[in-house]
Structure 1
Amino acid sequence: MSGLPFRVRVAFRLALREMRGGLKGFYIFLACIALGVGAIAAVNSLSRTMTDAIASEGRTILAGDVRFELDNREATPAEYEWLSGLGTVSVTTGFRSMVRLPDGSDQMLAEVRGVDGLYPLYGTLETDPQQPTSELFSERDGVYGAIAAPLLFERLGVAPGAELLLGNVRLRLSATLTNEPDALSEGFGFAPRIMVSREALQASGLIQTGSLVEHAYRIRLNAPLGDDDSVRALAARAFPDAGWSIRTSDRASPGLTDNIARFTQFLTLVGLTALIVGGVGVANAVRAFLDSKRTTIAAFKCLGAPASVVSLIYFLQILLIASIGIAIGLAIGAVTPLVAAGFLKEVLPVSAAPSVYPSALGLAALFGYLTTAAFAILPLGHAREVPATALFREQGFQKARLPSWPYLAGAVVTLAALAALAVFSAHDRRIAIVFLAAIGGAFIVLRLVAVAISALARRAPRVRSPALRLAIGNIHRPGALTASVVMSLGLGLALLVTLALIDGNLRRELGGTLPERAPNFFFVDIQGSELDGFRTIVRQQAPEGELVEVPMLRGRILAFNGEAVNAGNVPPSARWVLRGDRGVTYSEAVPKNATVAEGEWWPADYAGEPLVSFSAREAGEIGLKIGDTVTVNVLGRSITAKIANFRNVDWESLSINFVMVFSPNTFRGAPHAWLATLSDPGASDAQEGAVLRAVTNAYPTITSVRVKDALDTANRLVGQIATAIRAAAAIALVASVLVLAGALAAGNRARTHDAVVLKTLGGTRRLLIRAFTFEYMILGFATAVFSLLSGGVAAWYVVARIMNLRSVFLTDVAVTTVAVALVMTVGIGLAGTWRVLGQKAAPVLREL
């Protein structure tokens, strides 16, 4: 009966009996576990709700079973015939263009979409008032019907029934667009939607050779074709050089799904940070709990209980208590999709049916148990060494030396399992590994910071003030709170500083720095026949402005060195190069805003095989080298060019930049349009408005993009994302507060002894309060300095290296961080210490 099962049963019964006294001392423990587990469970449950909604309504989101997209050209008769053989085909055409009032007094950029009579094949086009599409887009006396998003009505100050001009055609606004069923599959738009018939587009004169136009062919299949890869293989066999982008309903909105996955990973890692910070609180709570049980542990040993059974008793008890916190966190995660259902209806134009997701809850529970075990094992190892003499004498267990090797090995194995779970459950494992390495490094540095603070306090010169002398002594004495306070606050504040600096730098770039460096306007779809007249108008309206023009085509990268591209083998930061069509150009000379990083530029009169210059950073991430070949599909024709050089590109300037610049002979004779920028730093809003009106009225087919408006849209989007990020950072900060409170509570026993002895020796309550205040201020300031340094470095890396933007250290963030650290340490410290100062001396002195 003395085997392992018997020992486990006995330990379990004793653990349950000890829990009859309640959870006193474990409330912070429960809060830390519940907060971290709840954050992870809620984020992953909400993510599953959104992705399941997208997957379940893939046909509606795509408005078809499969979509074939061609840029800058329509399908040939043979291609269209093949598509029609698969099922019912609905054709839509999308691009950006200017819409303007008939009197030319106002205009704006719009996302224009022309649809046919079959649109949508799935889902419902909702308008106000609701009408059949034949009525909405009907032509009467040369005026075509149109519907538009509410924002377009608001900005132009018009109402349903008003008329607008689009290119060379007059439109009648029939209704307000309230729901575009396949809006998610169309991607993010920088301008409000206006929808017309394809006949209206043909009459507008906007569809010309070289125009940046997307033609989408949605199909309701006669018979299933299989998954996305099967459809691609079938299309490649039929028309290998078509260059179309293919998407099936099971991947109706891959961009949105990937973004949800990335954001979920980020928030999960923030939740894991809160859980790991909470792990420090677990260790403090377990240590304090076991310290309070030292006489009980000694009694067990006196009665013959082996040390392993004693450890098992309290390990099971800790797991049972952790289960309560995990259950609370799982309940939070389970109800989050239900609470967020109303919000999701506004974000996703599909019905999100909230549910309970066992996999998401199971993942969060596993994180919770592993964190509890990882941070509880070492205190249990210390408790194992409690001598039987502690039954007769008040003393804590020895914490100065490490526990025995099995406990050290158990802690290492559990931490490794926690790290492995974080990596293998991540969307991007590379980011997860970097994150975990940063967390591990932060723990080491925080420990070194605590050691450095103690060493400095130990070597500090003697000061006159008794309160300050006591504070300095408290920082380096045995059992000091230095390590606990620094560890508790360090990670949470560092994360808060990092996110605040990233948010501040993004807003600074979008709101100030970028607009100062960026051109005032981008002009797109300038036809060769319009170029001279366009130049004349711009020079008349902005004589001080700088006009830059380049030829532009659109091309999709098909292969590198003859092998089809595989975005899965490319780092996420460079995958955008391989998605969809990219703008390409040709040039005899190196562009003014770029420099050759490697290789040689071609001569001005070059006439050999096609050559291409590739952006250096993206080429490095993809793994390209000089001499490799790139195959690009342009206007339905596949062109293979050799990489002659790499260029350093200043993307953040927002000037005209291309990933690929070809030698001029590559596209000799190919039809194309022109792209231009106008930079005039001194132009007022009125002068910019005059330029916009003059160009739009003279050349309605030219699309004019005011950079300031585009940056305002991006700024609003960044603001929405930043709100979610700040909420996530707040979770980690709350965890830090809880851990700090727990660390201070765990040290109250020693503080009580100190306070009683000092009061017995003549110390006043005022002196003790001043001493404790100085101590907490020193620790808070030291932790704030670490958080500023580590958070500043992390934010710089993200902004400068990943986002390629200029990074500056923001003074207001620094001041706020120091203030928060001081308020938290001093406030929470004094709140916990106040009760200690009121302890009666006799009961404490009898225990010494």
Structure 2
Amino acid sequence: MAAPASPAGAQAGANRLRLGLAARLALRELRGGLSGFYIFLACVALGTGAIAGVNSVSQMMTGSIASEGKTILGGDIRFEIDNRDIGDAERDYINGLGTVSDGVNMRTMARKTDGSDQSLVELRAVDEAYPLYGAFETVPAMPIEAAFGAEDGVYGAAVAQILLDRLGLDVGDTVLVGQASLQIRSVIATEPDALSEGFGFAPRLMMSRDALEQAGLVRPGSLVEFSYRVRLDGQASAAELSDLREEATQRFPDAGWQIRTSQNAAPSLTRNIERFSQFLTLVGLTALIVGGVGIANSVRAWLDGKRGVIATLKCVGAPARLVVAIYLIQVMLIAGFGVFLGLLFGVATPFVAAGALAGVIPIAVEASVYPVSLAIAAGFGLVTAFAFAVLPLGRAGEVPATALFRQQGLETGGLPRWPYLLTAGVTLAALGAAAIWFADDRRIAMVFVAAVIAAFVVLRLVGYGVQAIAGRWPTVRSTPLRLAIGNIHRPGALTPSVVLSLGLGLALLVTLALIDTNLRRELSGNLPERAPNFFFVDIQSNEIDGFEKVVTDLAPGGKIIKVPMLRGRITQLKGEEVNEQNVPAEARWVLRGDRGVTYAKNLPENSKLDAGSWWAPDYEGEPLVSFSAEEAREIGLDVGDSITVSVLGRSITAKIANLREVEWESLSINFVMVFSPNTFAGAPHSWMATLSDPDADAALEGEILRNVTQAYPTITSVRVKDALELANQLVGQIGIAIRAAALVALVASVLVLAGALAAGNRSRIHDAVVLKTLGATRATLIRAYVYEYGLLGLATAIFALGFGAVAAWFVVSQIMTLPSTFMPDIALATLVGALILTVGIGLLGTWRVLGQKAAPVLREL
């Protein structure tokens, strides 16, 4: 005979039975279809699809870069050093690692032989071993020796097609570079390691190392990068490459080189992809959270239609938690279907994007299915659906059966019990923690989470504030306006839901619009007005006076600023070796490789002191340095601290005399470090200069460029407008993604607003029928609804403008470090858009309400 079950076992069996019963009832009720859940599905699918798509494309691109690491880097390991070549000991060490290909990169001018035109070019000189990995392809096809070798004393060159178009040249023509004449023998079709060379502002021109020697471009102070790519003997694992990098760093601590391995072939591109992916992911998560409000509204509206079923279950003895379990299972099953739809979009996105990216990045981008990205998106979607569904479900479970049979709405049920509140709170906290954990820059993610929390709190206060103002508003004579004000503050009003639903989406929309507009205005308006016309670099000391005379004769009204320039690398901070890992990511660029440094008697005119004092013009004491204030604080430096800089092979320790604010966005000559003049007394250096002439037109700029290049062919002249035009193109491409994100935010707002209106449809039908019975016409009710939605839209738009302006200011000024301006036209467009959305969608949602028959509703009173 079997032993009787223990009380604990019986309780567990009862719990299992209730869960099984809840599942059976939930599945049975779902046979009726998904009516009432379409907005819910759309909210979940939209946010999940945005996150899945963005992360899948990001993983596709970073994965392609990683898989093609050797080809992109041009070797297994790469050594780079700026403005000076390596020593014999370092060269012997590199040559002992395997097959070596060395190269030189710099910017210079390419000129037509008749002197009629010229262009800035990104010059690259390579040796016979190039490329170690991948294939260098040209049109017409030819080997490296034929493309770059000397024929009758004239070396060959391969160029980008855009250079031929810009100068009006053809293959076979001759171009002048420095002191050398080069024959253009082919057009570059594929440069396998182009990504590792970084971003270029000018067309590519490739030549041999011997041709570079003939050109005479590498001189003291020239801005030039020497690189050495190594193909190791045999295969090397990621760990072995890391060990080799560490060994080279420790063996030559003063070499000043940067070392990259094929495991991190294009770090800047990878970081930018990850950061932009994070930005779009946070936008997608915002859309999902905005959609969460729509989820809550949809669940509430759906449960409102289930009052009779819930009441029947309670009357036959079903406890509240069984009712909640039944509908929670249904909600999560439907949420799962919405997540599935979003994941389908996420799966398809990389395959669509791969074709578009084929002409953008010069590597093979192979699309695939990315389970990790899909799993993260699915997790966000399901957790968001659960968090926002718990409260309306808990509230429905607490409403007594008698109230439900009397056709009272769920909005009268008040807050659910503390277990439901705690569950929702813990789930939302986990959602925020996950957003921070998976972020590339957790500081920005934390700001995002804090902003969302603040937006929820403030929007709730705005909603309650609007109700309080409406409740205290004096009685007005207009019947429609009086009805509208009453609808705003009456019990069970839609005001909190509409303000919260629309406010989040509009705030995100305003933020994105202001970011996009500020970027465009800075690059196309403010920046060109403040920026100089030209930058001139690689000016030798014996050329500076003649150069200045050439420019002054052509532009007598222009302003020339010239500064001496050396190259130096920070080796110690406050007496300790540099450790990049202890420095925030945004400031590490200061410590990587050589930086331009200068000396000055007086404070630069585009700077102002932030701390400390400037030295006397005739100062002769210990070396002093002025450091950029923002970068100093990020690194952890202050007035009185010491830094050691390696310049021309000498280590110079200087005390920080002051910190100064630098306007980097002005595009004037700016340096992180400005030393006292006695620091570099007698040291050889080159010069950098700018020309600012607001009255110079395109013809005069062309004449200046032509005359300077002809007189001094080794001076590199950069026309700022050309660089800004290229930057505008890049910002335009980024703007497409920003506007797409804004569209997602707008769609999410429309969905959640529709959900909020659907949640109040039953009470709207009741009010409309009663008012029509008392004599109100349809026109009167329509006017009342127009006033109501218009007032709510106005209040919401004012919040969106304020919150969006602050958020955009933070992104533009604190993250992008650009001037941020509030745009009144964007404000007006947002106000109009908010009113159109609230009034238009509100009227669409209530049109069916006004057409309801009176008898069925009156029978329920």
**Who is 2:523 aligned against?**
510
**Who is 1:183 aligned against?**
194
Whole-angstrom distance in 2 between the partners of 1:231 and 1:459: 75
> Contact between 2:395 and 2:413, CA under 8 Å: does it hold in 1?
no
Whole-angstrom distance in 2 between the partners of 1:392 and 1:775: 30
Whole-angstrom distance in 2 between the partners of 1:398 and 1:527: 79
Deviation at 1:439, TM superposition (A): 0.6
- Which residues of structure 1 form unaligned runs of 5+? none
Aligned equivalent of 1:339, options 333, 349, 352: 352
> Contact between 1:64 and 1:218, CA under 8 Å: does it hold in 2?
yes
**Who is 1:361 aligned against?**
374
Whole-angstrom distance in 1 between the partners of 2:286 and 2:537: 46
Whole-angstrom distance in 1 between the partners of 2:581 and 2:44: 36
The one-letter code matched in structure 1 to 2:338 is: G
SS in 2 for 1:346: coil
Please list, as runs of the form range in 1=range in 2, the aligned pairs for 1:301-450 lying within 5 A after superposition. Answer: 301-390=314-403, 392-397=405-410, 399=412, 401-450=414-463
**Who is 1:219 aligned against?**
230
Deviation at 1:474, TM superposition (A): 1.2
**Who is 1:245 aligned against?**
258
SS in 2 for 1:174: strand
Deviation at 1:398, TM superposition (A): 5.1
The one-letter code matched in structure 2 to 1:727 is: A
Aligned equivalent of 2:170, options 149, 159, 176: 159
Aligned equivalent of 1:168, options 163, 173, 179: 179
- Which digits, 9 at most, give the CA deviation of each residue in 1:547-596, with x for residues without a partner? 11111122233332344434343333323323343211122332222222
Deviation at 1:391, TM superposition (A): 5.7
Deviation at 1:371, TM superposition (A): 0.6
SS in 2 for 1:384: helix
Whole-angstrom distance in 2 between the partners of 1:61 and 1:168: 32
- Which digits, 9 at most, give the CA deviation of each residue in 1:141-184, with x for residues without a partner? 23221111122112112221221110111111111112211111
SS in 2 for 1:671: coil
Aligned equivalent of 1:783, options 774, 796, 800: 796
Whole-angstrom distance in 1 between the partners of 2:54 and 2:815: 24
Whole-angstrom distance in 1 between the partners of 2:529 and 2:172: 40
**Who is 1:19 aligned against?**
30
Aligned equivalent of 2:786, options 762, 773, 776: 773
Whole-angstrom distance in 1 between the partners of 2:811 and 2:53: 26
* Shift in alpha-carbon separation, 1:635–1:60, aligned structure 2, 3 A: farther
Report whether the alignment pairs 1:750 with 2:763. yes
- Which digits, 9 at most, give the CA deviation of each residue in 1:519-557, with x for residues without a partner? 111100000111111111111111111111111122233
Single out whichever of 153-162 and 177-186 deviates more from structure 2: 153-162
Please list, as runs of the form range in 1=range in 2, the aligned pairs for 1:233-312 lying within 5 A after superposition. Answer: 233-312=246-325
Aligned equivalent of 1:94, options 98, 101, 105: 105
* Shift in alpha-carbon separation, 1:681–1:392, aligned structure 2, 3 A: closer
SS in 2 for 1:460: coil
Report whether the alignment pairs 1:468 with 2:481. yes
Report whether the alignment pairs 1:716 with 2:717. no
> Contact between 1:126 and 1:178, CA under 8 Å: does it hold in 2?
yes
Deviation at 1:217, TM superposition (A): 0.5
> Contact between 1:90 and 1:119, CA under 8 Å: does it hold in 2?
yes
Deviation at 1:736, TM superposition (A): 0.9
SS in 2 for 1:678: strand
Report whether the alignment pairs 1:82 with 2:93. yes
Deviation at 1:637, TM superposition (A): 4.1
Deviation at 1:666, TM superposition (A): 2.9
Deviation at 1:400, TM superposition (A): 5.7
> Contact between 2:501 and 2:749, CA under 8 Å: does it hold in 1?
yes
- Which digits, 9 at most, give the CA deviation of each residue in 1:483-528, with x for residues without a partner? 1211111111111111111221221121121111111111000001
> Contact between 1:211 and 1:672, CA under 8 Å: does it hold in 2?
no
**Who is 2:748 aligned against?**
735
Report whether the alignment pairs 1:196 with 2:207. yes
* Shift in alpha-carbon separation, 1:171–1:585, aligned structure 2, 3 A: same
* Shift in alpha-carbon separation, 1:347–1:636, aligned structure 2, 3 A: farther
The one-letter code matched in structure 2 to 1:704 is: S
> Contact between 1:71 and 1:635, CA under 8 Å: does it hold in 2?
no
Whole-angstrom distance in 1 between the partners of 2:635 and 2:147: 47
> Contact between 1:68 and 1:245, CA under 8 Å: does it hold in 2?
yes
* Shift in alpha-carbon separation, 1:540–1:207, aligned structure 2, 3 A: same
Aligned equivalent of 2:84, options 62, 73, 89: 73
Q: Which structure 1 residue ranges, 4+ long, deviate > 6 Å from structure 2?
A: none
Deviation at 1:463, TM superposition (A): 2.0
Whole-angstrom distance in 1 between the partners of 2:714 and 2:277: 41
Whole-angstrom distance in 2 between the partners of 1:769 and 1:388: 34
Identity %: 64
Whole-angstrom distance in 2 between the partners of 1:473 and 1:388: 29
SS in 2 for 1:347: coil
> Contact between 1:294 and 1:390, CA under 8 Å: does it hold in 2?
no
Whole-angstrom distance in 2 between the partners of 1:264 and 1:532: 49
> Contact between 1:97 and 1:702, CA under 8 Å: does it hold in 2?
yes
**Who is 1:650 aligned against?**
663
SS in 1 for 2:473: coil
Report whether the alignment pairs 1:520 with 2:533. yes
Give the root-mean-square deviation of aligned CA atoms: 1.6
Whole-angstrom distance in 2 between the partners of 1:801 and 1:426: 18
Whole-angstrom distance in 1 between the partners of 2:244 and 2:568: 21
- Which digits, 9 at most, give the CA deviation of each residue in 1:355-383, with x for residues without a partner? 11111111111111111111111111211
> Contact between 2:411 and 2:492, CA under 8 Å: does it hold in 1?
no
Normalised to the residue count of structure 2, the TM-score between the two structures is 0.96
Deviation at 1:390, TM superposition (A): 3.8
Deviation at 1:230, TM superposition (A): 2.3
Whole-angstrom distance in 2 between the partners of 1:50 and 1:380: 42
- Which digits, 9 at most, give the CA deviation of each residue in 1:225-270, with x for residues without a partner? 8456423321133322110111111000000111111111101100
The one-letter code matched in structure 1 to 2:372 is: S
The one-letter code matched in structure 2 to 1:102 is: T
**Who is 1:832 aligned against?**
845
**Who is 1:131 aligned against?**
142
Normalised to the residue count of structure 1, the TM-score between the two structures is 0.98
> Contact between 1:385 and 1:397, CA under 8 Å: does it hold in 2?
no
- Which residues of structure 2 form unaligned runs of 5+? 1-9
- Which digits, 9 at most, give the CA deviation of each residue in 1:69-112, with x for residues without a partner? 11111122222111100111101100001111111111111111
Aligned equivalent of 2:645, options 632, 640, 645: 632
How many residues matched? 848
Deviation at 1:644, TM superposition (A): 2.2
**Who is 1:484 aligned against?**
497
Single out whichever of 573-582 and 81-90 deviates more from structure 2: 573-582
> Contact between 2:43 and 2:292, CA under 8 Å: does it hold in 1?
yes
SS in 2 for 1:261: helix
**Who is 1:665 aligned against?**
678
> Contact between 2:534 and 2:717, CA under 8 Å: does it hold in 1?
yes
